[in-house]
Amino acid sequence: MTFSPIMTNDLTAIIPAFAGGTLDRADQVRVDPVRLKEAMMRPSARLLKLDGLNPVLDEMGDLAWGPLYEASPDNDLLLLGMDGDTPCFAELSGAGSATSIPDPRLWQSLSMLSPDQAGIYATARSLVDWHARHGYCSNCGQITVSRKGGWSRSCVREEGGCGAEHFPRTDPVAIMLAECQGKILLGRQPRFPPKRFSALAGFIEPGESIEGGVARELWEEAGIKVRNVRYVASQPWPFPSSLMMACTSETDDPTLTLDEEEVEEAAWFSLDEVIAAMNGEPDALFIAPPPFAIAHDLLKYWINEQGG
C-alpha cells in the first residue's frame, strides 16, 4: 500500500495519533462535587475497560466500554469527559503497581483505534499511570487522595498533610528533522527494531524554548548546528505523559558527530529514499516509524513540502 501524503500546507490537517480526542472534558462537572455525583448516577454513564494500562478492545476492534456499576467500589473514578449527555469514566486502580513500560501487544492494538478513540485512551492511560505514581505528596510525603474527578490529588490537612494540591504533569519533548542539501537526518536508538530509523528527539529543559531545545538536541546528539527551526504539529504521547512537538530545521554542514549513548546510527536520506521507506518497499534503506508515531506524520509533511 502506498502511503497518503498530506496534500495541504495547512498544519491543522495533521492530526497525529492520540491527538483526535472528541470528548468534552467537562471541567465544570469535575470541579463540582454535586454535578460529578449526578454524572456518576446517570444510567447512561459508561466505564472504559482497561487491562492494567492497556486498552481492552471489543469484537469490532474498538475501545470496550461497560456500565459504570461494574467499577469496583474500592477504586476512585476518573471522569474522562462527556460524550454528548453520556458521562465517560475510567477506574483509578492499582495505585503503586502500574508500570509505564508498554506491553508489546499494545502496539498492535494502537493501529486499530480511530483518532477519537486513541485520544480517549491516551487521556485515560496518562492519568491512570499518574495516579499510580503519585500516591504521596512531593512536598511533605503524606498520602494524597484523588480530587476533581481524578484530575488532581490533594494532601489532606485533616490527616496530617500540608494541604498541597497536585496536578497531572506533561513533559515537553522536541522531535525534529534537520535538512541539508535536500536530505533529512534520521537516526536509530539501540532499542529500535533492526533498520528502524526515526526523527531525533529529546526533552525540553527548564528555561528553554522549543527552538532552543531543537538546536541543543541536534548539537548534542548529532553534532550539527541548525537554523530556521519551524514548528509543525504536536502529539500527546501517553508513555507515560509527554507532549511531542514536531519541528523541522536546516543546517549547512552535513558532518555528523554522534552521541553513541543516545544514537546508535544516523544518516542523511534523500526524498526518494524516504518515500521508499514510507511505502514499505522491500529494498528501502530503512524502516519508517509506525503510523501512530508523530515522526511518521513529520516525514509525510516533509515529503509534501518537497513536492513528493
pLDDT (tens digit per residue) in 78-101: 999 999 999 999 999 854 444 555
b/e sequence 168-196, b meaning 16+ C-beta within 10 Å: beeeebbbbbbbbeebbbbbbbeeeeeeb
Q: Residue 5: its pLDDT value, please?
A: 46
Mean local confidence (pLDDT), 108-135: 91
What residues pair up with 190 in beta bridges, in sequence order?
A: none
In the predicted model, is pLDDT for residue 103 greater than 70?
Answer: no
Q: Which amino acid is at 239?
A: F
Long-range contacts formed by 37-41: CB under 8 A, 24+ apart: 39/79, 39/82, 39/87, 40/68, 40/77, 40/87, 40/89
Q: Residue 102: its pLDDT value, please?
A: 63
Phi-psi region of 26 (alpha: psi -120 to 50; beta: other; left: phi over 0): left
Residue 296: name the closest of 57, 23, 100, 110 by CA.
110
Mean local confidence (pLDDT), 184-197: 95
In the predicted model, is pLDDT for residue 191 greater than 60?
Answer: yes
- The structural domains of the chain, ordered by start, are 27-133 (no CATH), 170-305 (3.90.79.10)
Mean local confidence (pLDDT), 113-129: 93
User: If you compute the radius of gyration of the chain from its CA atoms, what whole number of angstroms results?
Assistant: 22
pLDDT, one tens digit per residue, over 156-174 is: 998 899 999 999 999 999 9
Q: Residue 56: its pLDDT value, please?
A: 93
Neighbouring residues of 152: CB distance < 8 A, sequence distance ≥ 6: 146, 165, 166, 167, 168
Q: Residue 110: its pLDDT value, please?
A: 84
Q: Residue 61: its pLDDT value, please?
A: 92
At 219, list the grid cell: 548539537
Q: Residue 11: its pLDDT value, please?
A: 46
**pLDDT-derived band of residue 112, with 50, 70 and 90 as boundaries?**
confident
Element (H, E) at 150: none
b/e sequence 45-72, b meaning 16+ C-beta within 10 Å: bbbbbbeebebebeeeeebebeebeebe
Distance from C-alpha of 61 to C-alpha of 89, rounded to nearest angstrom: 20
3 state SS of 252: coil
Residue with cell 514548528: 231
**pTM assigned to the model:** 0.90
**pLDDT-derived band of residue 109, with 50, 70 and 90 as boundaries?**
confident
CB 135 within 8 A of CB 154: no
pLDDT, one tens digit per residue, over 41-78 is: 999 999 999 988 889 999 999 999 999 999 999 999 99
CB 39 within 8 A of CB 68: no
Distance from C-alpha of 140 to C-alpha of 121, rounded to nearest angstrom: 32
According to DSSP, residue 6 is labeled: -
Distance from C-alpha of 174 to C-alpha of 219, rounded to nearest angstrom: 13
